[in-house]
Amino acid sequence: ELTKDWKPTINVAVSGAAGQISNHLLFMLASGEVYGKDQPINLKMLGSTGSYEALQGVAMELEDSLYPLLRSVDIGINAEEIFEDADWALLIGAKPRGPGMERSDLLEMNGSIFSAQGKALDKVAKKDVKVMVVGNPCNTNALICQKNAPSLDPKNFHALTRLDENRAKSQLALKAGVFYTEVSNVAIWGNHSTTQVPDYVNAKIGGAPAVDLIDDLEWCQETMTPLVATRGGALIKKWGRSSAASTAVSIADAIRALVVPTAEGDCFSTAVITDGNPYSDNIPEGIVFSMPATSTGDGNYEICENFVIDEWLEKKIAASVEELSKEKDCVKHLFGEYGGACD
Ligand code: LMR
């Protein structure tokens, strides 16, 4: 039921707007199911020269859908035009990986996109813009973007690990034989890559520790963990292209996590800048690392402080830290720092 008590309209910029993920996401955004049924939006869609006609097609479909909350649809291929006064920037456009590739193989190809978009955001977006990077390798792309936007709050740059959280929740629910709504407090630590750490240690089922019900450490460590971490690649093998619908759903979840207060005792996962994080014994500053967070629903978040880091988590987190530090070394030239080497 739509209320007429509408909030002021917000500007939502989406890159890669003619792509498969966006084709699912844009209609969810326009319907009000993400930002709320009282939140009108202007959609500003960024594409490329090659995708411009497709972008026009998407805009036509949005117009034809008569969404009451969708106030305007703009399309373009110039980031500075599309990001103007953006309240949100959902950065999806990038070259996706194909079969047999690791996400880090995309570093060189996609890194330059995110430095240019960081600069554009810095120049024209609202100063409290919330940026969500989806294009891979998303953690390091988010870092590149943030470093190129020095006038924006570094805290507001996110890389998407909500898809990994959803994948972990689904596997835990299947194993425990419960509906997924029973599964909460599932953190993903680290990189959105095969070194990511789905945290079964702090996860809950029915409000109690998940391990009490599942009671199978070997399954948690040797089956669930790699299954979640390699799910993206397994999907690419099946589909011949990377996940689109479930990624769009997880972007919607990730936005909702910031605009709706987190339930008591729960968390959501998001990859953000590690400066000042409460796990400094394990997670150094200066990288974009997925951690558990909570929000009061105002678009901001706090990293949860009470997660237990046991020996297993410590070892796995260290491997993801190492990988992200190497990725950072490879792209330092994209934010004006020297040094580091890339193999
Ligand atoms: C995913 O996790 O499905 C996406 O990041 C696409 C990919 O390359 O795995």
* pLDDT tens-digit series, residues 303-339: 999 999 999 999 999 999 999 999 999 999 899 887 6
* pLDDT tens-digit series, residues 187-223: 999 999 999 999 999 999 999 999 999 999 999 999 9
Task: Judge if 193 and 238 occupy the same domain.
Answer: yes
Which atom in ligand 1 lies closest to the alpha carbon of residue 103?
8
* pLDDT tens-digit series, residues 24-51: 999 999 999 999 999 999 999 999 999 9
Whether residue 192 lies in the annotated active site: yes
Residue 320 is assigned to a structural domain of this protein:
yes
For the cut 60, the answer to whether the pLDDT of residue 341 exceeds it is no
Cα separation, 258 vs 159, in Å, equals 13
Task: Judge if 25 and 85 occupy the same domain.
Answer: yes
Q: Which of 101, 102, 103 to mutate to test the pocket of ligand 1 (most atoms within 8 A of CB)?
A: 103
Task: Judge if 68 and 177 occupy the same domain.
Answer: no
Q: How confident is the model at residue 147 (pLDDT cuts 50, 70, 90)?
A: very high
Q: How confident is the model at residue 98 (pLDDT cuts 50, 70, 90)?
A: confident
Task: Judge if 169 and 59 occupy the same domain.
Answer: no
Question: What is the pLDDT averaged over residues 128-139?
Answer: 98
Residue 334 is assigned to a structural domain of this protein:
no
Residue 86 is assigned to a structural domain of this protein:
yes
Question: What is the pLDDT averaged over residues 120-136?
Answer: 98
Task: Judge if 211 and 111 occupy the same domain.
Answer: no
Task: Judge if 152 and 166 occupy the same domain.
Answer: no
Q: What is the CATH number of the domain that holds 320?
A: 3.90.110.10
Q: Which residue's CA lies nearest to atom 4 of ligand 1?
A: 232
Give how many domains the chain has, as a whole number.
2
Task: Judge if 125 and 254 occupy the same domain.
Answer: no
Question: What is the pLDDT averaged over residues 126-145?
Answer: 98
Q: Ligand 1 centre from 45 Cα, in Å?
A: 22
* pLDDT tens-digit series, residues 264-304: 999 999 999 999 999 999 999 999 999 999 999 999 999 99
Q: Ligand 1 centre from 340 Cα, in Å?
A: 27
Q: Which residue's CA lies nearest to atom 7 of ligand 1?
A: 232
pLDDT at 336: 86
Q: What is the CATH number of the domain that holds 49?
A: 3.40.50.720
Pick the last residue of a domain from 112, 136, 159.
Answer: 159
Which atom in ligand 1 lies closest to the alpha carbon of residue 243?
3
Residue 336 is assigned to a structural domain of this protein:
no
Which atom in ligand 1 lies closest to the alpha carbon of residue 101?
8
What ipTM is given for this predicted complex? 0.96
Residue 254 is assigned to a structural domain of this protein:
yes
Task: Judge if 25 and 113 occupy the same domain.
Answer: yes
Question: What is the pLDDT averaged over residues 73-90?
Answer: 98
pLDDT at 191: 98
For the cut 90, the answer to whether the pLDDT of residue 71 exceeds it is yes
For the cut 90, the answer to whether the pLDDT of residue 127 exceeds it is yes
Residue 298 is assigned to a structural domain of this protein:
yes
Q: Which of 91, 92, 95, 97 to mutate to test the pocket of ligand 1 (most atoms within 8 A of CB)?
A: 97
Pick the last residue of a domain from 119, 143, 159.
Answer: 159
The residue range of the domain holding 202 is 162-329
Q: Ligand 1 centre from 193 Cα, in Å?
A: 8
Which atom in ligand 1 lies closest to the alpha carbon of residue 97?
8
Pick the last residue of a domain from 159, 179, 194.
Answer: 159
Task: Judge if 54 and 196 occupy the same domain.
Answer: no
pLDDT at 200: 98
Task: Judge if 150 and 236 occupy the same domain.
Answer: no
The mean pLDDT of the chain is: 96
Cα separation, 152 vs 247, in Å, equals 26
Pocket residues for ligand 1 (CB within 6 Å)? Answer: 97, 103, 136, 163, 232-233, 235, 242-243
Task: Judge if 132 and 114 occupy the same domain.
Answer: yes
Q: Which residue's CA lies nearest to atom 3 of ligand 1?
A: 232
3-state secondary structure the chain: CCCCCCCCCEEEEEECCCCHHHHHHHHHHHHCCCCCCCCCEEEEEECCHHHHHHHHHHHHHHHHCCCCCEEEEEEECCHHHHCCCCCEEEECCCCCCCCCCCHHHHHHHHHHHHHHHHHHHHHHCCCCCEEEECCCCHHHHHHHHHHCCCCCCHHHEEECCHHHHHHHHHHHHHHHCCCHHHEECCEEEECCCCCCEEECCCCEECCEEHHHHHCCHHHHHHHHHHHHHCHHHHHHHHHCCCCCHHHHHHHHHHHHHHHCCCCCCCCEEEEEECCCCCCCCCCCCCCEEEEEEECCCCCCCEECCCCCCCHHHHHHHHHHHHHHHHHHHHHHHHHCCCCCCCC
Q: Ligand 1 centre from 241 Cα, in Å?
A: 9
Residue 240 is assigned to a structural domain of this protein:
yes
Q: Ligand 1 centre from 69 Cα, in Å?
A: 30
Task: Judge if 25 and 151 occupy the same domain.
Answer: yes
* pLDDT tens-digit series, residues 221-246: 999 999 999 999 999 999 999 999 99
Percent of the chain's residues with pLDDT above 90:
91
Residue 137 is assigned to a structural domain of this protein:
yes
